[in-house]
A and B are shown apart, each in its own frame.
Chain A
Amino acid sequence: MTDQTRSQSGSAPALTRRQAYEQRLRRRSITIAAGSTLAVVLAVVLLVPLSRGWDAVKRSFFNGEVFAKTFPGLLDAFLMNVAIFLWCAPIIAVLGLLIALFRDVRSPALYPLRLFGAIYTDVFRGLPVILVIYLIGFGVPGLGLPRPWNSPYIWGSLALILVYAAYVAEVIRSGIDSIHHSQRAAAASLGLSDGDTMRYVVLPQAIRNVAPANMNLFIALQKDVALLSFIGPVEVFRQAGVYKSLLANFTPYVGAAVIFLALTIPATRYADYLMHKQRRRQS
Chain B
Amino acid sequence: MAKLDLKGVTKSFGDNMVCRGIDLSVDEGEMVCLIGASGSGKSTLLRCINLLEPIDDGCILLDGVDISEPGLDPQPIRARIGIVFQSFNLFPHMTAAENVMLAPRRVLGKSRDALEGPVKTLFERFDLGQRMHHYPDQLSGGQQQRVAIIRALAMAPEIMLFDEITSALDPELVGEVLDVLRQLRSEGMTMILATHEMAFARELADKVCFLDAGRILEEGPPDTLFADPKEPRTRAFLKRVL
Residue numbers of A with Cβ under 8 A of B are: 182-183, 185-193, 196, 200-201, 204-205, 208
Contact = CB atoms under 8 A, between A and B. Distances in A.
Contacts, number: 58
| Interface size range of chain B in the complex | 20 to 34
20 contacts: A182-B87, A183-B89, A183-B91, A185-B85, A185-B89, A186-B85, A186-B90, A187-B91, A188-B78, A189-B52, A189-B78, A190-B78, A190-B82, A190-B155, A191-B75, A191-B155, A200-B106, A201-B102, A204-B93, A205-B93
B132 interface: no
Contacts of B75: 191-193
Nearest to A197: B106
A185 B102 contact: no
A165 B30 CA distance: 55
Nearest to A202: B91
B152 interface: yes
Interface of B is mostly: loop
Given A190-B151, A205-B92, A205-B93, A182 B102 contact: no
Contacts of A192: 75, 102-103, 106-107
Nearest to B89: A186
Contacts of B4: none
Interface of B: 47, 50, 52, 74-76, 78-79, 82-83, 85, 87, 89-93, 102-103, 106-107, 151-152, 155
A39 B55 CA distance: 73
Contacts of B93: 204-205, 208
A186 B82 CA distance: 10
Nearest to B76: A191
Contact of A182 (B79, B85, B155): B85
